Structure 1
């Protein structure tokens, strides 16, 4: 099997490439010019090519001779110019699917996000939960791309399966996990509210497993969306204190009211938009996106993925955090 992985130089992309190589697939790794290719070049049989989702010609070249496309690349985060998110997360996806269909690709696995459900959730959320766009371009464009994908499946027979990962963590996660480890290690960690809310964390190799199973699934999976998370119900306090345990430092004792921090995020975003109407600079120090992700109760059902894909999380909280902290400490030696 020859697979294309977009976003291969990223956190999830790198782990997915490793797992595809482990099972004997040939992998073409699609990265942006200038991205670090050290890990990818160390893996046997990986072909590294450069391109961009906003460059249709590079996408057409990337899909030649490919049987499966695992699309991970995206403009992420809650802050930035809307047109960049649209070009990458919407038009780029459409161009990739068109190029893949023209090249005869058998299966496209598109990586979406639990952000399509919104972040102010009640009860156990399954895939039929309605879309809710949060006030950021990442959320809006992820919903737009999903709507267009399902339309292409229906009207053009696009062989796409959609995966909606939870909050991914693990080794090489410099954007989120490493920051939490640093805070806990330095004694600056804190809880939002009581810390009893459920956080939707999922270990990176479990997400990669879900992507691979979506690629392997029969045609009945085409046009379906699957939430990939861990149904071990982990609270915010358990997550952060498991990091403390792995570091062998005291548990977190400081907490701040959720409502106050959420309002601070709203104020910060409003001020930043006044200063930077096109959102081209650095994001605010606190955002409502980050506050709700950590401090709100978010419970997801993975029954559909279990039953239809055969997905089963393999990494519980203790094991996953231990591996992540081990990587963090090695990187800082």
Structure 2
């Protein structure tokens, strides 16, 4: 809290909030909730253009680099909350360095700047990739380790680099909390909703809208609406314990179940057959060869990505529900919101 400002005054007045990653999927949803709350929002962006996600919003755009320690201290001066939502998954040969810069170096720089500026709260958006998983009866939670990490995400490669840099960012947040910063970690799982501009998790919806998919992956994930996920970030800032992490996910569904909901909303035929295991292996080989020529185009055919989709990787969001008060909205509502947004953007028929 800013010096001389009481808790009551803070609640009555607009808070000053700084956000990284506001031009991305989760960031766009978080920024809108902050504005709805009446906050004064500054978004750290790489370009002077707001992009689609921030266009027309009453936010301040700032081009300070996320590793510019002195510049960050100036931007964070007087801030009440900082949300580090910037993230990147880059499968290119240079991707590991970029992921380290955005996830690790930026977290360190923001944390030091927040400590120097006396910012009460830093919310670090990590990923469920650092959280162990289980089956429906025994889903993983924030304390579940990932067994056989090399087998799950590989010894090297983009998915392993993504995991490792996110895990290192979390370790930094815990260290910063130990030094007195109110740093909290959130771990979004499979998030569905509007403003998924790339798209990321909504890619499956876009694909299904463009033609019938007869097969479904054999695995499953923990799904959550983008609205609840965004609210989870704000609630983590308000109620979260420093140094603690909170899994943001609500519905453990198989891909068959989730794709069934998507098919109903889109008005298309649902998939009817599980993907043959042999097909997954062959696609992995195609991805291994193709990625040598176009890493981004063949990222979805990474063998560890395909393996993840073939396994039930369920997790529990109970801690966020009980300690933060994160709601559990129907996943169909999230799918409907995503479909409506994709159609509005002309991304699907």
- If the length of structure 1 is used for normalisation, what is the TM-score? 0.86
Counterpart-to-counterpart distance in 2, 1:52 and 1:201: 32
The answer to whether 1:256 aligns with 2:271 is no
In the alignment, which residue of structure 1 is the partner of 2:187?
Answer: 164
Q: Tell me which residue corresponds to 1:246.
A: 265
- Return the match for 1:304 from 301, 312, 319: 319
Q: CA deviation at 1:58?
A: 3.9
1:320 deviation in Å? 1.0
Look up the SS of the partner of 2:301 in the other structure: coil
The answer to whether the aligner puts 1:71 opposite 2:84 as a matched pair is: yes
The more displaced of 318-327 and 255-264 is 255-264
- Residues in 1 aligned to 2:34 and 2:16: alpha-carbon distance in whole angstroms: 10
2:236 is the counterpart of 1:207:
no
Structure 2 vs 1, CA of residues 201 and 35 (structure 1 numbering), >3 Å: closer, same or farther?
farther
Query: Of residues 3, 16, 20 in structure 2, which corresponds to 1:6?
Result: 20
Q: How much has 1:268 moved relative to structure 2? A: 4.4
Task: Give the TM-score of the pair, scaled to structure 2.
Answer: 0.82
Q: 1:284 to 1:176 in 2, by over 3 A?
A: closer
Q: Does 1:186 align with 2:210?
A: yes
- Aligned pair in 2 of structure 1 residues 280, 292: CA closer, same or farther (>3 Å)? closer
- Residue 111 of structure 1: aligned partner: 125
- Closer, same or farther in 2 for the Cα pair 1:117/1:263, shift >3 Å? farther
- Which residue does the alignment assign to 1:235? 254
For residues 141-162 of structure 1, give each alpha carbon's deviation from its aligned partner in whole angstroms, at most 9, with x where no partner exists: 11112122222322x2222001
Q: Cα gap change, 1:9/1:284 in structure 2, threshold over 3 Å: closer, same or farther? A: closer
Cα RMSD (Å) of the superposition? 2.6
Aligned match of 1:222: 242
Q: Return the offset for 1:269.
A: 5.5
Structure 2: state its 5+ residue gaps: 1-14, 155-159
8 A Cα contact 1:30 1:62, kept in partner: no
What displacement does 1:176 show? 2.8
Over 3 Å counting, the alpha-carbon distance change for 1:259 and 1:146 in structure 2 is farther
Q: CA deviation at 1:262?
A: 4.7
Shift, 1:98, TM fit: 0.3
Aligned to 1:100: 114
Partners of 1:316 and 1:249 lie apart in 2 by 20
TM-aligned CA distance change 1:319 to 1:61, over 3 Å: same
Corresponding residue of 1:60? 73
- Residue 32 of structure 1 and its aligned partner are, at CA, apart by 1.4
- CA distance in 1 between counterparts of 2:16 and 2:203 reads 35
The CA deviation at 1:85 is: 1.5
How do 1:132-171 and structure 2 match up within 5 A?
Answer: 132=149, 134-135=153-154, 136-154=160-178, 156-171=179-194
The answer to whether the Cα contact below 8 Å between 1:199 and 1:293 also exists between their aligned partners in 2 is no
Q: Give a deviation string over 1:151-182, Cα, whole Å, max 9, x none.
A: 2322x222200101111121121323543233
1:328 and 2:336 are equivalent in the alignment:
no
Match of 2:6 in 1: none
- State the Cα distance separating 1:281 from its structure 2 match: 6.5
2:132–2:140 contact (8 Å) kept in structure 1: no
The correspondence for 1:316, drawn from 319, 323, 330, is 330
* Conservation of the 8 A alpha-carbon contact between 2:222 and 2:313: yes
Asked if the contact 1:192–1:294 (Cα under 8 Å) also holds between the matched residues in 2, the reply is no
Counterparts of 1:35 and 1:262, CA distance in 2: 42
1:26 aligns with 2:44: no
- Number of residue-to-residue matches in the alignment: 320
Equivalent position of 1:48 in the other structure: 61
